[in-house]
Amino acid sequence: MPATGEPASLRRPPATDPTAYDAFADAYNVHWGSFSLTWLKVFGLLIGGRLESEALVLDLCCGTGQLAAELAARGYSVVGLDGSRRMLMHARDNAPGVRLVQGDARRFGLRSCCDAVVCMFDSLNHVLTIEELGAVFRSVHDSLLPGGLFLFDLNTETGYRRHWAGVYRVTSGDFDVATRSTYYRRRRLGMFRASISRRGDPAGGVDEVELWQRCHEPGEVVSALTAAGFVAIETYGTEGDALVPDWIEDSERAFYLCERPGAPPDR
């Protein structure tokens, strides 16, 4: 380890890897998969009332599909897109009515068809440069109908400082998972490592997973949204589980809501 306290792997900056969750998917499905349901109320508060009952909603980076399933249960036509084949395999079980696509959030080929795009639970923190985040925003913009809405969340500096330090053990379903998270403040990078063992596995195998996130700076996020063509950009922070308009310094999670300009088509 270098004298800076940073691991050797940081000497070469980590690269965005849309398949990185393959090795984590089975444990994620059991323990983390339903987390974004806690923020369903954000969807309801910010965009639910602005969508027709059968609107087409893209769940970008849909993971194991629990949120996509809930949106489909509310009557929306839902498409889920994710880079990890194994996360999508669980999504197929969890969200049987949802069309699922394997793809890269930085370059997916949907064109002007979605009424809304949602992207939840740190997914866009996994996109490791602001240039790549800009590419995601352009793809999302092109996938939306005029007047279409884009809602996503990001982990904040406060969230990383509070929660990305130390060791955490969970036993969930068949899995024992030991995680270690570290936030490298100067680089605005978070590293999450997990050792996953399946209880009762006679071979006693342990899967090692390493995932990286970037703490995107809010001003740069808004600039990248504007450059991609979005308008009416709103930011929200959180206080406990309440949503607070505008940016608040102490918030652990930020939500961004914006629109593709133009009048929605007549239905």
Ligand X SMILES: C[S@@+](CC[C@H](N)C(=O)[O-])C[C@H]1O[C@@H](n2cnc3c(N)ncnc32)[C@H](O)[C@@H]1O
Of 103-132, binders to ligand X (CB under 6 A) are 104-106, 120-123, 126-127
- What contacts 155, CB < 8 A, 6 or more positions away? 122, 125, 190, 213, 215, 252, 253
- Of positions 29, 84, 143, 251, contacts ligand X by CB under 6 A: 84
CB-neighbour burial class of residue 45 (10 A; exposed 0-12, middle 13-18, buried 19+): middle
Stretch that binds ligand X, among 45-53, 80-88, 191-199, 220-228 (CB under 6 A): 80-88
Return the SS3 of 106.
Answer: coil
Please give the residue whose beta carbon sits closest to ligand X in the complex.
63
Residue choice 70, 82, 115, 157 for contact with ligand X (CB under 6 A) = 82
The contact mask relative to ligand X for 58-77 (x = CB under 6 A, - = no) is ---xxx---x----------
Number of residues forming the site for ligand X (CB under 6 A): 22
Does 80 help bind ligand X (rule: CB under 6 A)?
no
Question: What residue type is assigned to position 58 of the chain?
Answer: L
HEC sequence for 217-232 = CHHHHHHHHHHCCCEE
Beta carbon nearer to ligand X, 104 or 259: 104
Q: What backbone torsions phi and psi does residue 144 show, to the nearest 5 degrees?
A: -90, 150
**Chain CA centroid to CA 158, Å:** 17
Tell me the closest approach of the beta carbon of residue 245 to ligand X, in angstroms. Answer: 23
Going across the sheet that includes 189-198, the strands are 165-172, 175-184, 189-198, 206-214
Regarding 181 and contact with ligand X (CB under 6 A), the answer is no
**CB of residue 127 vs ligand X: minimum separation in angstroms?**
6
Residues that bind ligand X (CB under 6 A): 16, 18, 21, 33, 36, 61-63, 67, 82-84, 87, 104-106, 120-123, 126-127
